[in-house]
Amino acid sequence: MARRKRTDAPPIFDAELVDMPADLRWREWMNRIEAVLFAAPKPVDRDALARVIGRDASIDLLIDDIREALRGKPYEVVSIAGGWAFRTRTAYADAIATSAAVPVRGVGLSQNEAMVLVSIAYHQPVTRAGVSEILGREVSRDIFGALRDKNMITAGPRSPTAGAPFTYVTTKGFLEHFGLDTLRDLPDLEGLQDAGLLNGGDGAENSGHLRHSSAYVAGIETTGAEED
């Protein structure tokens, strides 16, 4: 007697939910998106969310409804690096820190690393020489290497200047870490200058103001250590 072939294929996932009433279907799609965001260690992009909802469903409208449903909750859905993620609201930052139950989120940037990162974020693509000019002093290659190791920056296009040196740009990891959807969400440079947090001049003047504003821009956390 011939044996039946064993099939181990998983059941087909029902994303469309056509047998459900429209209101229940919409609520289930909202629940699925919330579940995916809750379980994901990083922001979830549009393509990933599209796999768990109907083809004609609007991810943006579903996200809007989830945000509305979360009003009054201590957490929210935010847009980060082209995707979405759950984040606790800033109003509860002190409570979280006081509880000591959640590790402090940071990449251990020194003051000098933070200053270089701020310079790159606002002037990218920019060469190492360009960053040195902005800060008014020579910047060690080791600082750029450390920022690359921390997935904050990467090599950009070659500069059209003599020798065609590589430029540096920020990464998607930079956006994710500092909770930015795009670089357009960086604090306005002119606004920082008007507030006295960033000087409009060049060289040594900018270095002094960047030293005070580097921890402010994009919520960068520093260790306060200095590097040569």
User: Hey, what amino acid is at 68?
Assistant: E
Q: Is the pTM of this model over 0.95?
A: no
- Write out pLDDT tens, residues 37-85: 999 999 999 999 999 999 999 999 999 999 999 999 999 999 999 999 9
- d(CA 144, CA 135) in angstroms, rounded, equals 14
At residue 218, the pLDDT reads: 37
Q: Is the pLDDT of residue 202 over 50?
A: no
pLDDT tens-digit series, residues 204-225: 444 444 444 444 443 444 444 4
Tell me the per-residue pLDDT of 91-145, one tens digit each, with 9 for 90 and over: 988 888 888 766 655 567 888 898 899 999 999 999 999 999 999 999 999 999 9
CA dist 197 → 49, 118, 213 (Å)? 39, 12, 5
For the chain, give the number of residues: 228
Instruction: Provide the pLDDT for residue 190.
Output: 65
> Which residue ranges form the domains of the chain, and what is each CATH number?
22-99 (1.10.10.10), 111-219 (1.10.10.10)
**pLDDT at 2 (0 to 100):** 56
C-alpha to C-alpha distances, 24 to 21, 31, 199, 216, nearest whole angstrom: 5, 10, 55, 44
With DSSP H G I counted as helix, E B as strand and the rest as coil, what are the percentages for the chain, rounded to 5?
A: 45, 10, 45
Closest CA to 158 of 130, 196, 177, 118: 130
